[in-house]
Amino acid sequence: MSNESTAFPGESSASLGRRDMLKSAGALLAASTTGLTAEAAVGGEAAAAGGAGSAAAGGAGAAAASGTAPGAPRATSLRQGMVSFMLAHEQFPVPELVRLGASAERAGFDMLATSDHFQPWQANERHSGEAWITLGALGQQTNRAWMGPTVTCPTLRYHPAVVAEAFATLSQLYPGRIFLGLGSGEALNEQAATGQWPAWRERWDRLIEAVTIIRQLWTGNPLQHKGAHYTVSGKLYDPPAKPIPLLLAANGPKAMKLAGQHGDGLITDPQTWKEYKGEWESGARAAGKSPAEMPVLVEAFVVVGDQSDAQTAAKLWNFIPKAFKGYHNIPDPAQIERQAQAELPLPKVYGDWTVSTDPGAHVQAIKKLFDSGVTIVNIHSGQPDQQKVLEFYGKEVLPRVRGNPAPASRSANPH
């Protein structure tokens, strides 16, 4: 999930020519980047909004407070009513994710979101490919869908200047199709890769400073930044071809307010949105932004099947209810898996998921989120047969969400 800690201490075959392009894109991304973290957090107990920023050129301190950089156009082109499909690096290898992403676009999904991990949450998930390379390859196999991570951590494993360069490069390859979701990380990624896992306040300060640097570099203007955690002296010679929406993840009340202040939009879960929508809106307004014009992405777990199918999927996502209630501080996926199995019965894991073969149940769940103010619903299924989910949504669900009901003969019986 694209969440953050709720503890507040003191995520078709190509022609030969297209394959050559794909190799070139992969080489370019590998040369200019090395990866990012995954579904992490913006939030927790609050540091003051101005506490992390430091001297970036051209008045960046004030810019950081409102989530903008001098000269950077506001990226607001993510429209309302979008349905995204989650490509989980934890559960599937990259070549399969690329195939699934292309299939999701053909099925009618508007966006392709990826997790961004060094390790999976649980050892039994068995995979953890590099998200930026996936995005580069995926762009070669798709034509219109938005793409980006939910979420990347720009603070420890990777320097924010490298994050800025990587996503500017992706924008050059696929202009108008790239978004960037950011959060403050998990120990299974940051500590495992670097040996570092600072206290919450430092992780938050690093995130705000990283956002400032990324926005400044995306302007293409020279940057002289010497902050509490990062020093940058230079510029991006190839800034983004088009504005890149920068969404921040949050799942607690203070984090929601901070995400509203510093992001172009929000990444969260259904329960957090329901409980703390007002805090996010308050933060956005305090920074001079209109919440109604900002994208809100909510990740929704689904199962196209019955309770047995839900249990199979939940075994791989057993950690979800406590992901950011302690498990994010554990660097070992095997330990997270053991604790989740001991502490979280499977019905508790999938209790809030949409589990049904009735298209109406899935349509209703999506429309309920839209009615609450969510603009992007990110469909995440932990089922092994992802193609089954994509075909069901493409034929039965997405047309109904958009007001074009599928023929009645296609409808499955409800469970």
Q: Write the burial class of residue 307 (CB in 10 Å: 0-12 exposed, 13-18 middle, 19+ buried).
A: middle
b/e per residue, 31-65, with b = 16+ CB within 10 A?
Answer: eebebbbbbbbbbbebbebeebbbebbeebeebbb
pLDDT digits (tens, 9 = 90+) for 32-73: 333 333 333 333 333 222 333 333 333 333 344 444 444 444
| AA letter at 17 | G
* Residues paired with 161 in a beta bridge: none
Look over the chain and give the mean of its residue pLDDT values, rounded to a whole number.
84
Report in angstroms the alpha-carbon separations of 216 from 149, 176, 227, 238: 20, 19, 13, 13
pLDDT of residue 255: 87
CA-wise closest residue to 8 among 208, 377, 256: 256
In whole angstroms, what is the distance from residue 210 CA to residue 232 CA? 11
Q: Write the burial class of residue 144 (CB in 10 Å: 0-12 exposed, 13-18 middle, 19+ buried).
A: exposed
Concatenated DSSP letters of 326-376? TGGG---HHHHHHHHHHH--HHHHHTTSEE-S-HHHHHHHHHHHHHTT-SE
328 noted as active-site residue: no
pLDDT band at 20 (very low <50, low <70, confident <90, very high): very low
Query: pTM for the full model?
Result: 0.82
b/e per residue, 159-191, with b = 16+ CB within 10 A?
Answer: bbbbbbbbbbbbbebbeebbbbbbbbbbbbbbb
b/e per residue, 384-414, with b = 16+ CB within 10 A?
Answer: eebeebbebbbbbbbbbbeeeeeeeeebeee
pLDDT band at 77 (very low <50, low <70, confident <90, very high): confident
Give the lowest-confidence range in 215-219, 237-241, 247-251.
247-251
281 noted as active-site residue: no
Average pLDDT score over residue span 251-257? 87
Q: Assess contact for 135 and 166: CB atoms under 8 A.
A: no
In whole angstroms, what is the distance from residue 43 CA to residue 135 CA? 26
In whole angstroms, what is the distance from residue 110 CA to residue 90 CA? 22
Structure tokens at 43: 């939030």
**Domains of the chain (ranges, CATH numbers):** 16-403 (3.20.20.30)
- Catalytic residue selected from 39, 125, 130, 186: 186
CB-based contacts of 236: which residues, under 8 Å, 6+ apart? 164, 165, 168, 217, 218, 220
Helix 16-32 and helix 160-173, axial crossing angle in degrees, nearest 10: 160
The DSSP call for residue 395 is: I
pLDDT digits (tens, 9 = 90+) for 331-383: 999 999 999 999 999 999 999 999 999 999 999 999 999 999 999 999 999 99
Average pLDDT score over residue span 212-230? 98
Torsion of CA 260, 262, 264, 269, to 10 degrees: -50
pLDDT of residue 408: 46
pLDDT of residue 251: 83
Q: Assess contact for 264 and 312: CB atoms under 8 A.
A: no
- Catalytic residue selected from 89, 90, 117, 159: 117
End-to-end CA distance of the chain: 26
> Over 50: is that where the pLDDT of 282 sits?
yes
pLDDT band at 7 (very low <50, low <70, confident <90, very high): very low
pLDDT band at 406 (very low <50, low <70, confident <90, very high): low
pLDDT band at 254 (very low <50, low <70, confident <90, very high): confident
